A = this chain, B = another copy of it.
């Protein structure tokens, strides 16, 4: 399942409205005979790709897949559950069920009805992270939102003079570009657009073709050529991409936090103190300290050059 999750992670941000799914097929003898990941645009599905590779070797195999195989036939391909039944694996291990009403348990039921053993719920939380956008769309009717902040130890994003290049180092900035590649859409506020005129492209070798859709949060400023304007955070429900990265500045970040529309926080921190600089966040409408607690949970922390990255997740339970 670890290998299937890694495959799924590769496709995040480029499978359109489909989740990025990973599939690995292991033969009875213990060899990997097929691997697949949802292709750009959403098809073929991971299982179809992996089964095509495995061919006859799929008979008697164990299939690891990060999402329940689909049960619905589409003009773009057969149902993966049917493809699996035809391939006759001994066992299918599924990270989590598919909430799509056209599947929602029917994929697994169809496998079991054909005599294939099915194990569910293996590394489900990790699988959820690889399809966070897909799940946010199903649950809340909007994209999954990641907020990126790059600050000093004292929470500043620039000197009082406005100087902000660079607080974090090259490794942290490269990681931030990798995060752009994981997102189908990127948003900035008016201030950032005016001050930095960001291209919001992915400046990494091999990933330059990942061009996220660009959004501007502003009630009045017209969007530049090729961009789309959103008047308020709630308008993200109208966008088609499933993963949105909010890149700044302090006003846009605060607007999304005030609307409780941030699911994941990427906090890049450099070992510098600025003092009296520009704060990372504007007013988010917090009334009391008690209301601030219990919302964020540290998911990951790592060193990037001399900087630190912390990843927090919004705890909605």
Residues of A within 8 A of B (CB): 149, 151-156, 159-160, 163-167, 254, 257-258, 265, 267, 270-277, 279-286, 288-289, 292-293, 295-298, 301, 308, 310, 312
Contact = CB atoms under 8 A, between A and B. Distances in A.
Contact of A276 (B151, B156, B271, B283): B283
Given A155-B155, A167-B289, A289-B167, A254 B282 contact: no
Main secondary structure of the interface of A (DSSP, over half): loop
A158 to B, nearest CB: 8
Nearest to A278: B279
Given A283-B160, A286-B159, A308-B298, A152 B273 contact: no
A292 B274 contact: yes
A285 B273 CA distance: 11
Contact of A273 (B257, B276, B310): B257
Contact of A257 (B275, B277, B284, B292): B275
Given A159-B286, A283-B160, A288-B163, A312 B276 contact: no
Contacts of A165: 289
